[in-house]
Chains A and B, each alone.
Chain A
Amino acid sequence: MGQTIIEKILSAHSGQTVHAGDLVVADVDLIMGQDGTSPLAIKAFENMGGEKVFDPEKVALVIDHSAPSPNEGVSALHQLMRNFARAKGVRLYDIGEGVCHQLMPESGKVGPGSLVIGADSHTCTYGALNAFSTGVGSTDLAGAIISGKMWFKVPETIKFVCHGRLPAGVYAKDLILYLIGDVTADGATYMSAEYTGEAVDALSMDGRFTVCNMAIEMGAKAGIMRADEKTFAWLERHTNRRFTAVDPDPDAVYARVKEYDVSALPPQVARPHRVDNVCPVTEVAGTPIQQAVIGTCTNGRLEDLRIAASILAGRKIHPDVRLIVAPASRAIYLEAMRDGTLATLVEAGAAVVTPGCGPCVGTHNGVPSDGENVISTANRNFKGRMGNSNAFIYLASPATVAASALAGCIADPREFVKQVTA
């Protein structure tokens, strides 16, 4: 019986041939924790009798969720992480370096065939590099830090085949919102999502990260893509390590195969308070907004900032709107600074904050007021997500967010894309 990508990766890491439904204890290539989950993992590590980290090279801690610290409670937890990292010889990415899900790929720690666990649900992002990466909790993380292993139930896979090419003004974010809206928030629970087809092949690596990032929003354990020349070109820019692509067998068994033609897909918006509450932008266009956010592990990459800048160039955001921009990493911040992207955004009225997760998780850096509407490039619009349960969060692509920041209300970016290219 043929194997899916995930079945092959879990086989290679457990030394046996596995298929969906099997339970395996597998070796882990990389273990990542952020500041919302690592402090509990450090406690669990001690509680489990942990003394040594199995391999410090394979463990990374990132301070990104409340960075820089907004209060002394958070500061104490950050200090706990710094002390642990120092004592155990583990690399700690401190404030300003960026969001964990940008830093792990960017630092060359992940590639095709890797098996990664991260104490953050959006760890599924690295599937864009043909890796099996999945979110876990703090105790699972601690167990892996001690043993280098974790147990997995081998997931079934849903294959999403996306035919056609995305139209102008429609991006990776629109594609993944559309798929989530179609299969719903728990449509892929306990499963993996494999994305394929011409529309996926045509995406840049930045776009592919966006699509895999949101696999968890349909309940999936992992999102994954095949590795192609774009994948390897991207890896070459970030690491000297050599990886081999893991392809599914032609007779691999899928739980379901879903086919789409995306060549006429309009820009999509997820309405409050559910990620699967998705509609075409035209249905909500005109809804007033008070805050716009571009950034997060979903859409804080260079391509995203450039798309926003292309719409905002030479214009001013609406006087009733705050626009917050958080580059996903220091490298992206620097590049956007060097090529003028940030100057364009700031001239338009954007407030640029430290690379990190702040506005998305509601810890600091842009908590909305009661009754306010926010349009964001983030991955979640749960009630209270941004720190105020009386606010309303809409999710959209960087283009839609930029267009909305100009208009003062949710706006169709295709109008602006036409003007930009005209």
Chain B
Amino acid sequence: MILKGKAHKFGNDVNTDYIISGKYKFKTLDMNELARHVMEDLDPEFYSKITPGDFIVAGSNFGCGSSREQAPLAIKHAHISAVLAKSFARIFYRNAINTGLPVVECDTDQIQPGDQLELDLAGGVLRNLSRGLDIPVKPLPPVMLKILSDGGLAPHFRKYGGFNL
């Protein structure tokens, strides 16, 4: 799967409250509605800046904080194709894979806001097209790759009737 889009850059420790605030997530299961508020506390205009396929690019510890799965779902429903960060918080990372949102660890210092990126998930290559750079990405653990390639944990369960890792 090849993903292509431009980079929206954030800093370190982007927590789940910033991704989707608690004041919205308790009210609805409509993820398209939640998506309109994605990253609102860090950039109130963020949703309107997204072109489908774009990437969120961040520093370390992306997704720290709550276990809310609304966080990766809001990102996915905002049509972000993947999140690239130096590192991820554990629960967010797992939730992203379970809900079918690609998350990739790499050296994001080599990406500037607005850079055009191309990510080959299967091949494990990230190209910064704007700068002519190939950035190595950390491969996903096989268990996670299996769940992600099935489309998330729900399709995995439907396919196998339980865990088949």
User: Is A121's CB within 8 Å of the partner chain B?
Assistant: yes
| Given A23-B165, A140-B98: A121 in contact with B65 (beta carbons within 8 A) | yes
Which residues 122-165 of B have a CB within 8 angstroms of A?
Answer: 141, 143, 152-154, 157-158, 161-163, 165
Contact call B153/A121, Cβ cutoff below 8 A:
no
Which of B13, B87, B143, B161 has its CB near the most chain A CB atoms (within 10 A)? Answer: B13
Contact with B along A183-214 (1 / 0, CB 8 A): 00110011000000000000000000000000
Q: Which of B23-31, B49-57, B76-84, B109-117 forms contacts with chain A?
A: B23-31
Please, which residues of chain B bring their CB within 8 A of the CB of A139? 69, 95, 98-99, 152-154
Contact call B157/A143, Cβ cutoff below 8 A:
yes
Contact with B along A250-293 (1 / 0, CB 8 A): 00000000000000000000000010000000000000000000
CB proximity of B43 to chain A, nearest CB, Å: 11
Contact call B28/A73, Cβ cutoff below 8 A:
yes
Contact call A35/B141, Cβ cutoff below 8 A:
no
User: Is B32's CB within 8 Å of the partner chain A?
Assistant: no
| Given A48-B158, A274-B13: A380 in contact with B91 (beta carbons within 8 A) | no
For B61, the closest partner residue in chain A by CB is A186
Please, which residues of chain A bring their CB within 8 A of the CB of B27? 71, 73-74, 77
User: Is A353's CB within 8 Å of the partner chain B?
Assistant: no
Contact call A382/B17, Cβ cutoff below 8 A:
yes
Please, which residues of chain A bring their CB within 8 A of the CB of B153? 44, 48, 139-140, 143
User: Is B3's CB within 8 Å of the partner chain A?
Assistant: no
Contact call B67/A120, Cβ cutoff below 8 A:
yes
Bound complex: CA A185 to CA B157 (Å): 33
User: Is A25's CB within 8 Å of the partner chain B?
Assistant: yes
Contact call A136/B67, Cβ cutoff below 8 A:
yes
Which residues 62-102 of B have a CB within 8 angstroms of A?
Answer: 64-70, 73, 87, 89-91, 94-95, 98-99
Contact call B67/A149, Cβ cutoff below 8 A:
no
Partner of B26, one of A43, A147, A363: A363
For A190, the closest partner residue in chain B by CB is B90
User: Is A327's CB within 8 Å of the partner chain B?
Assistant: no
Contact call B158/A136, Cβ cutoff below 8 A:
no
Contact call A383/B29, Cβ cutoff below 8 A:
no
Contact with B along A367-399 (1 / 0, CB 8 A): 100000000000010111101010000000000
CB proximity of B20 to chain A, nearest CB, Å: 10
CB proximity of B72 to chain A, nearest CB, Å: 8
Partner of A186, one of B26, B29, B87, B162: B87
Bound complex: CA A23 to CA B158 (Å): 22
CB proximity of A300 to chain B, nearest CB, Å: 18
CB proximity of B98 to chain A, nearest CB, Å: 4
Bound complex: CA A153 to CA B140 (Å): 13
| Given A147-B162, A190-B90, A219-B90: A121 in contact with B66 (beta carbons within 8 A) | yes
User: Is A65's CB within 8 Å of the partner chain B?
Assistant: yes
Partner of A35, one of B18, B26, B91, B94: B26
| Given A48-B154, A74-B26, A139-B153: A189 in contact with B18 (beta carbons within 8 A) | no
Bound complex: CA A274 to CA B12 (Å): 11
User: Is B120's CB within 8 Å of the partner chain A?
Assistant: no
Contact with B along A128-143 (1 / 0, CB 8 A): 0000000111111011
Please, which residues of chain B bring their CB within 8 A of the CB of A173? none
Please, which residues of chain B bring their CB within 8 A of the CB of A362? 21-23
CB proximity of A61 to chain B, nearest CB, Å: 15
User: Is A40's CB within 8 Å of the partner chain B?
Assistant: yes
Please, which residues of chain A bring their CB within 8 A of the CB of B68? 36-37, 137
| Given A146-B157, A149-B163: A137 in contact with B26 (beta carbons within 8 A) | no
Contact call B17/A185, Cβ cutoff below 8 A:
no
Bound complex: CA A139 to CA B91 (Å): 11
Partner of A384, one of B18, B60, B69, B154: B18
Bound complex: CA A285 to CA B27 (Å): 37
Please, which residues of chain B bring their CB within 8 A of the CB of A23? 141, 143, 165
Bound complex: CA A138 to CA B92 (Å): 11
* Given pairs A48-B153, A143-B153, 10 additional interface contacts (CB within 8 A): A49-B157, A71-B27, A137-B91, A146-B157, A151-B165, A185-B13, A186-B87, A367-B23, A380-B17, A387-B21
30 contacts between A and B (CB under 8 A): A35-B26, A40-B29, A40-B73, A43-B29, A44-B153, A48-B154, A48-B157, A49-B157, A49-B161, A73-B28, A77-B26, A119-B67, A136-B94, A136-B95, A137-B68, A137-B91, A137-B98, A139-B69, A139-B98, A139-B153, A140-B95, A147-B162, A186-B87, A189-B90, A219-B61, A219-B64, A362-B23, A363-B22, A382-B17, A385-B22
Give the 9 A-B residue pairs with the shortest CB-CB distance, closest first: A73-B27, A137-B95, A137-B69, A186-B61, A48-B157, A139-B98, A384-B41, A389-B41, A135-B67
